[in-house]
């Protein structure tokens, strides 16, 4: 019988993460330092209490605080470098990180400064920690409607940051279905970007169907509610759509009542292409290593199962084919 995965095995595993929000990666030390930089009054003890939230409203307030402290290009660089250090310590080789340009534009940040901050942070993270980043710029559907072209024009324009790999659709799903955004995603795909929307997190399988059929989604952020509709499951299988699953996030935001109720085993048993992610790791007090350990212990996953989750993520990424082959070969060499 093969050895079960332990922390040492998990720590050494080469990793890829595809669903991670930059604005949700600010650990208390980073948040506090940025707040002090900008004279935002914030007690360290109060800040740490904010990270221990029990409902979506508290989570939202913490997320909004994170937006408040990201005011300059230097702030973005520092946040990205801190994230790069954290991922490098976990042997994460590559991450596609979502960030919401419209939210920062709306607060008055010059998009040239935003791009410069992302570019500098990406370069430093690679040089210091060996972590490569690709950017997913998402449309925040609750504040940027389908008639706006801001995000589309930014990600396809000459002033976008280096390393953009796709356009996403984030924000609350209820009352904001994906279908009206179809023309914007068609243009993004025609420009060579991947369609990478959130769907099926707080809405049902119909949201996933809309994202796949109307937005041409190649990956779905979350997508866990697809499991409740056999036809949508079949659609995902036919189109080879990857699901970016984030277990701790789903528990924290009450998508599922507890870890044991999470549909991850059902998604895998259905043959769906699934990777494991952290979503907002700082705010959910998790890491990719933690998530792998959590699912291994909860669902009795084997070493091979964990390797397969990473293999699925690398395959679903936008890495160049030669780099993808290198990373997959490293996984193939791991004894399971």
Q: Label residues 93-110 b or e (16+ Cβ within 10 Å = b).
A: bbbbbbbbbbbbbeeebe
Angle of helix 73-89 versus helix 28-37 axis, rounded to 10: 160
Euclidean distance between the first and the last CA atom of the chain, given in angstroms as a whole number:
10
SS (H, E, C) the chain: CCCCCCHHHHHHCCEEEEEEEHHHCCCHHHHHHHHHHCCCCCCHHHHHHHCCCCCHHHHHHHHHHHHHHCCCHHHHHHHHHHHHHHHHHCCEEEEEEEECHHHHHHCCCCHHHHHHHHHHHHHHHHHHHCCEEEEEEEEECCCCCCCCCHHHHHHHCCCCCCCEEEEEEECCCCCCCCHHHHHHHHHHHHCCCEECCEECCCCCHHHHHHHHHHHCCCEEEECHHHHHCHHHHHHHHHHCCEEEECHHHHHHCCCCCCHHHCCHHHHHHCCCEEEECCECCCCCCCCHHHHHHHHHHHHCCCHHHHHHHHHHHHHHCCCCHHHHHHHHHHHHCCCC
Cα angle value 246/249/250 (rounded, 5°): 85
Residue 179 is a catalytic residue: no
Q: Pick the catalytic residue: 201, 203, 291, 293? A: 201
Task: Using alpha carbons, list the distances in angstroms from residue 254 to 50, 156, 247, 262, 288.
Answer: 18, 35, 11, 11, 20
- Residues labelled catalytic: 201
């Amino acid at each position: 019988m093969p050895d079960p995965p332990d922390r040492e095995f998990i720590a050494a595993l080469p990793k890829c993460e595809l669903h991670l929000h930059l604005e949700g990666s600010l650990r208390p030390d980073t948040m506090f330092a940025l707040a002090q930089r900008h004279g935002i009054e914030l007690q360290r003890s109060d800040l740490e209490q904010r990270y221990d939230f029990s409902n979506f409203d508290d989570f939202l307030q913490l997320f909004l605080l994170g937006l408040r402290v990201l005011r300059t290009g230097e702030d973005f660089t520092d946040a990205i470098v801190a994230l790069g250090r954290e991922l490098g310590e976990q042997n994460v080789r590559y991450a596609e990180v979502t960030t919401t340009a419209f939210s920062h534009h709306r607060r008055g940040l010059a998009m040239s400064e935003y791009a410069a901050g992302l570019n500098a942070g990406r370069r430093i993270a690679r040089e210091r920690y060996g972590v490569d980043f690709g950017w997913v710029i998402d449309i925040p559907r609750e504040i940027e409607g389908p008639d706006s072209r801001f995000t589309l024009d930014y990600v396809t324009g000459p002033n976008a940051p280096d390393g953009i790999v796709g356009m996403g659709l984030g924000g609350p799903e209820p009352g904001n279905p994906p279908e009206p955004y179809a023309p914007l995603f068609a243009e993004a795909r025609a420009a060579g970007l991947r369609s990478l929307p959130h769907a099926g997190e707080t809405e049902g399988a119909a949201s996933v169907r809309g994202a796949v059929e109307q937005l041409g989604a190649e990956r779905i952020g979350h997508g866990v509610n697809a499991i409740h509709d056999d036809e949508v499951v079949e659609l995902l299988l036919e189109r080879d759509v990857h699901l970016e699953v984030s277990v701790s996030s789903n528990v924290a935001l009450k998508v599922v009542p507890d870890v044991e109720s999470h549909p991850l085993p059902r998604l895998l048993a259905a043959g769906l292409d699934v990777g494991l992610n952290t979503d907002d790791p700082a705010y959910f007090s998790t890491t990719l290593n933690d998530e792998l350990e959590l699912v291994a212990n909860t669902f009795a996953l084997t070493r091979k199962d964990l390797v397969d989750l990473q293999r699925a993520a690398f395959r679903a990424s936008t890495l160049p084919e030669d780099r993808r082959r290198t990373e997959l070969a490293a996984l193939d060499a791991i004894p399971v």
